[in-house]
Amino acid sequence: MLLHLACQAYRAGTQGAIPAPGIEQQPGVVLAILLLVWLPFLVLARYELSRLPSRSRAAHGQARALASVEALALLVVLLFVLVHGAHFAWPLLSGRMVAEDVRPELVALLSGTWRGLPMTAIGYLSAVGAASFYAARQALSAFPGARPALVRGLLALAVLAYLLGSYAVIRDASGTILP
């Protein structure tokens, strides 16, 4: 996720009005990402969601609240992946969209408004936040009892992912935000 968000932030900051397709928009790479990243993630998500009721009952106080927010973040990420994949990955893989059209279509989608509100961009920002939060929680649970330096490092990576993803969304939705 951090690599994807960093690439998108770089592309958002360096490309002009008609961006060229990157390697991440080639059908073979998209298919590989779906099979190597998202398929295992869906298996993990199913496992995590099946454990949710027992985890929530066993936890108390702050741990219970964090478990609930973590489950909500996972649901937001899953919904985003399905919508984003249906809008971009599936048309690209089925041949209804070419790689050159992916980024301009994304920019057009993010730039749109509903009654003056950038609802799609807000949804993307919410998904970036949910993904960063969920990734941080999963990373921290993988290292129980970790040293404070490792915990701070993992949290710094999650914040960096959120900042990069937010920059990419805001830049693609509205144009230049920094000189």
Q: 74: which 2 tokens?
A: 């996972």
Q: How far apart are CA 160 and CA 163, in angstroms?
A: 5
pLDDT digit string, tens, across residues 10-55: 888 777 655 667 777 888 889 998 999 899 999 999 998 888 777 6
Q: Is 18 helix (H, G, I), strand (E, B) or coil?
A: coil
Write down the pLDDT at residue 40. Answer: 92
pLDDT score recorded for residue 124: 96
Q: What is the pLDDT of residue 155?
A: 95
Predicted local confidence at residue 151, as pLDDT? 94
**Do residues 109 and 169 make contact, with C-beta atoms less than 8 angstroms apart?**
no
pTM: 0.85
Token code pair at residue 1: 């996720």
**Regions in the chain scoring below 70 on pLDDT:** 16-20, 55-56, 58, 176-179
Parse the chain into domains and list their residue ranges. Answer: 2-11+23-174
Contact 112, 62 (CB under 8 A): no
- Cα 165 to Cα 132: distance, rounded to the nearest angstrom: 9
CA distances from 84 to 89, 148, 152 (A): 7, 36, 31
